[in-house]
Amino acid sequence: MAIGSRAVSYANPACVKSVVVRSQSVPQWRALSSQSIAHQQQQKNLTKTKKQKSSKCSNHSSTAAAQIHLLLSQFRQASATPLHRLRQLADAMTAEMHSGLMSEGGSEQLKMLPTYVENLPHGDEEGLFYAVDLGGTNFRVLRVQLGGKEKRIVKQEYQEVAIPPELMQGTSKELFDFIAKKLASFVAREGEGFEAHSGHVRELGFAFSFPVLQTSVKSGILVHWTKGFKISDAIGKDIVAAFEEAIGRKGDHIRVAALVNDTVGTLAGGRYWNEDTMLSVILGTGTNACYIEQVDAVPKWRGAPPKSGEVIINMEWGNFRSPYLPRTFADEEVDIDSVNPGDQWFEKMISGMYLGEIVRCVLAKFAQEAALFGGPIISPKLLEPFSLGTPYVSKIHSDESADLTEVARILKDVFEIRRTTFQERKIVHDICDIIAERGARLAAAGIVGILNKIGRDHGPTATNGSYLSSRRSKTVVAMDGGLYEHYTQYQVYMRAAIDEMLSETAAQSVVIELSKDGSGIGTALLAASHSQYHTF
Ligand code: ADP
Ligand code: MG
């Protein structure tokens, strides 16, 4: 049962630029109204002018149409992700993974952070556990009642809360006090079917989806913010300490048993149900991936090797970059106007926070340079950063009506563009298709890069000496995130690109499993497997 409601705000006030209404280069034929002509000229002259106007008009519209088609084909070309390009990207991802594992700072792009999660849940966990999942757009608080191997998840409840935009750029105290307050009221509503062990302090898993340098499974230092957050005083601080202090200020007794990234939570959730889960990917507001690595392949690992011989690596792959990435003018614009210019290029090309914004930038350019939507007056909304959320992109994309009525409705509702021609709507549809396909194929290249690193890119019969490839017949990718979950065509493009890149046998062995809210449940499961009362 879900309690609470989903209220999502896509606008990022920090990015809202002043709105400019373009009025330059007004073509003569549009600047003249028929009324003023009537007042100025004789009937004879008027007829002549009308003829001229109509001929100029049709010349102009055909020139504008040609110009739009030229821009579109240039954009399509610049965004292309042919197979050889995807292979180059996958190889570049694998190479960066190796560098990042060599030493601290071994890769400038991929942090490749070892996590300290030693006990992945395997089904026999029991009791009541909580999780807080701070993702980017929303945060979720949830509780699960675990019933061991037989009963598994007996009951679960969650609440989702939109993060007020002002808290994303305030102080860490304000942010954690807000979260602690919501957590306290959620705990206070713990009802039937949930039973805390008497004498036990409630335990919580904390999924904090920003780059954190962990020093133990219960502590970690924030390296930097992503996804539009900018709370300077939190950088370099222990996130668990900051959160537990806020919980203490509310007078609650809840202990953080595990600090994890949402990718790690998703991996844990995947493992709980399927032992073949080897990696997890988040495609939500932002993007990231983690996977299970052999500790021998991690030269920068310090301390005693884990008993399992395996370590979970949080890649922080959103910061991947490569000259092979098909970046366009729109990606540059999105990057420059972001709160973290120069960072997270991969994330800015493939994730939910940015896809809508890329589409908007392209539409704005087409409107300005080729009078898409009839010009010359451009809707101020079209020039307003983040006015088009990615859910609209998927709605536009899935419009299969003969005259693209849904596209018309969205252009009207979002950009206040009241009248559009079918051709214009078709161009908007094409732009969404190009941008979503590119994003999905790039995400696929990232996944193949990981499969390559763990020796799973040749299928289960590979004899490349990899320990991992020799013992499993399937490789499950646990997937979580609103973008992947809700954007069907994105899923289709991603799967197609994975299949294109791998041999048939390898492709068949790769299973992508969407675990809705897997990061939250997985994080509660990790609290269970790292409980101080752990007796199972
Ligand atoms: P978070 O990443 O904050 O944990 P989610 O995993 O729920 O949150 O992902 C939210 C993101 O998913 C939104 O920012 C949005 O970009 C994207 N999203 C949500 N619904 C849709 C949709 N219908 N189509 C495409 N993208 C969507
Ligand atoms: Mg999330």
Would you say residue 51 has pLDDT above 80? no
Determine whether 509 is an active site residue. Answer: no
What's the CA gap between 269 and 335, in Å, rounded? 33
State which of 227, 285, 485 you would mutate to test the pocket of ligand 1, scoring each by most atoms of that ligand within 8 A of its C-beta. Answer: 285
Q: How confident is the model at residue 422 (pLDDT cuts 50, 70, 90)?
A: very high
pLDDT of residue 459: 75
Question: Among residues of the chain, what percentage have pLDDT more than 90?
Answer: 75
Q: Whose CA is nearest to atom 26 of ligand 1?
A: 483
- Identify which of 168, 390, 480 to mutate to test ligand 1's pocket (most ligand atoms within 8 A of the CB): 390
Dist CA 143 CA 161 (whole Å)? 15
Can you give the pLDDT at residue 59?
A: 60
CA distance 413 to 298: 51
* 304 or 414, greater pLDDT: 414
Residue 253 has pLDDT above 70, yes or no: yes
Cα gap 220→532, rounded to integer Å: 19
Catalytic status, residue 209:
yes
The DSSP string of 308-361 is TSEEEEE--GGG---TTS---HHHHHHHHTSSSTTS-HHHHHHSHHHHHHHHHH
- Determine which of 7-16, 148-157, 442-451 has the lowest per-residue pLDDT on average: 7-16
Catalytic residue selected from 79, 107, 238, 262: 262
Q: Which helix (H) or strand (E) holds 206?
A: strand 202-208
Cβ count within 10 A of residue 496: 14
Would you call the peptide bond into 376 cis, given omega within 30 degrees of 0 as the criterion?
yes
Q: Tell me the C-alpha to C-alpha distance, in Å, between residue 212 and each of 225, 321, 527.
A: 9, 20, 18
How far from each other are the two terminal CA atoms of the chain, in whole angstroms?
28
pLDDT band at 65 (very low <50, low <70, confident <90, very high): confident
- Given CA atoms 486, 489, 493, 499 in this order, what sign does their dihedral have? positive
**pLDDT at position 3:** 39
Q: Which atom of ligand 1 is nearest to the CA of 351?
A: 16
Angstrom distances, CA of residue 381 to CA of 33, 251, 364, 378:
25, 45, 10, 8
359 pLDDT more than 80: yes
Q: What is the pTM of this model?
A: 0.85
Mean pLDDT, residues 210-219 taken together: 90
> Is 233 a residue whose pLDDT tops 60?
yes
Strand-pair partners of 61: none
- Pick from 25, 24, 27, 45: which is nearest to 36 by CA? 45
Looking at residues 506-510, what average pLDDT do you find?
A: 96
pLDDT-based confidence at residue 135 (cuts at 50, 70, 90): confident
Map residue 224 onto helix, strand or coil.
Answer: coil
Ligand 1 pocket test: pick from 12, 137, 210, 406 the residue with the most ligand atoms within 8 Å of its Cβ: 137
Each residue of 117-130: pLDDT tens digit? 988 998 889 999 99
Q: Tell me the C-alpha distance between 383 and 22, whole Å.
A: 10
pLDDT-derived band at 535, boundaries 50, 70, 90: low
SS (H, E, C) 382-415: HHCCCCCCHHHHHHHHCCCCCCCHHHHHHHHHHH
Which of 252-256, 325-329, 514-518 has maximum average pLDDT? Answer: 325-329
Per DSSP, 375 falls in state -
Taking residues 257-274, what's their average pLDDT?
94
- State the CB neighbour count (10 A cutoff) for residue 402: 6
206-222 average pLDDT score: 92
Using the predicted structure, report yes or no on whether residue 307 has a pLDDT greater than 50: yes
Structural contact between residues 160 and 482, judged by C-beta atoms closer than 8 angstroms: no
Q: What integer pLDDT is reported at residue 50 of this predicted model? A: 46
Mean pLDDT over all residues of the chain? 87
Q: Which atom of ligand 1 is nearest to the CA of 490?
A: 25
The more confident residue out of 304 and 436 is 436
30, 64, 295, 305 from 369: Cα distances, Å? 16, 9, 54, 59
The answer to whether the CB of 436 falls within 8 A of the CB of 355 is yes
pLDDT surpasses 50 at 25: no
What atom in ligand 1 is closest to the CA of residue 481? Answer: 6
Query: Which region among 9-13, 110-114, 116-120, 185-189 has the lowest average model confidence (pLDDT)?
Result: 9-13
Q: Active site includes 262?
A: yes
DSSP annotation string for 166-183: GGGGS-HHHHHHHHHHHH
121: three-class secondary structure by DSSP: coil
Measure the CA–CA gap between 427 and 321, rounded to whole angstroms. 29
Task: Please determine, for residue 232, whether its predicted confidence score (pLDDT) is greater than 50.
Answer: yes
Rounded to the nearest angstrom, the distance between the alpha carbon of 226 and the centre of ligand 2 is: 13
Spatial CB neighbours of 92, under 8 Å, sequence gap ≥ 6? 320, 322, 324, 449
Instruction: List the single range of 1-15, 57-71, 100-114 with lowest mean pLDDT.
Output: 1-15
Which pLDDT band holds residue 427 (cuts at 50, 70, 90)?
A: very high
d(CA 520, CA 193): 19
In this predicted structure, the answer to whether residue 42 has a pLDDT above a threshold of 70 is: no
Query: Is residue 202 predicted with pLDDT exceeding 50?
Result: yes
Q: Give the pocket of ligand 1 (CB within 6 Å).
A: 135-138, 284-285, 352-353, 390-391, 394, 481-483, 486-487
Q: Select the more confidently predicted residue: 26 or 477.
A: 477
The residue whose CA is least distant from atom 6 of ligand 1 is 481
Are 94 and 290 within 8 A, CB to CB?
Answer: no
Q: Provide the percentage of residues in the chain whose pLDDT is more than 70.
A: 86
Q: Which of 209, 394, 509, 519 is catalytic?
A: 209
Q: Does residue 299 have a pLDDT over 70?
A: yes
**Average pLDDT, integer, range 499-528:** 94
Residues 478 and 412: their CA atoms lie apart, in Å, by 38
Residue 75, classified by CB atoms within 10 Å of its CB into exposed (0-12), middle (13-18) or buried (19+), is buried
pLDDT at 421 over 70: yes
**Closest C-alpha to ligand 1, atom 13:** 285
31 pLDDT more than 60: no
> For residue 41, how far is its CA from the centre of ligand 1 (angstroms)?
58
Of 79, 107, 140, 338, the active-site residue reads 140
Query: Which of the four pLDDT bands, split at 50, 70 and 90, describes residue 90?
Result: very high
- Spell out where 37-147 has E strands: 113-114, 126-134, 138-147
pLDDT band of 199, cuts 50, 70, 90: confident
**What pLDDT band is residue 424 in, cutting at 50, 70 and 90?**
very high
Residue 155 is predicted with a pLDDT of 96
- pLDDT over threshold 90, residue 39: no
Tell me which long-range contacts 344-347 makes (C-beta under 8 A, separation of at least 24): 344/226, 344/286, 344/318, 344/319, 345/319, 345/320, 345/321, 346/287, 346/317, 346/318, 346/319, 346/320, 346/321, 346/442, 346/446, 347/226, 347/227, 347/286, 347/287, 347/318, 347/319
Identify which ligand lies nearest to the alpha carbon of 390: 1
Residue 58 reports pLDDT greater than 70: no
pLDDT in tens, 439-496: 999 999 999 999 999 999 887 654 444 444 445 689 999 999 999 999 999 999 999 9
pLDDT, greater one: 384 or 55: 384
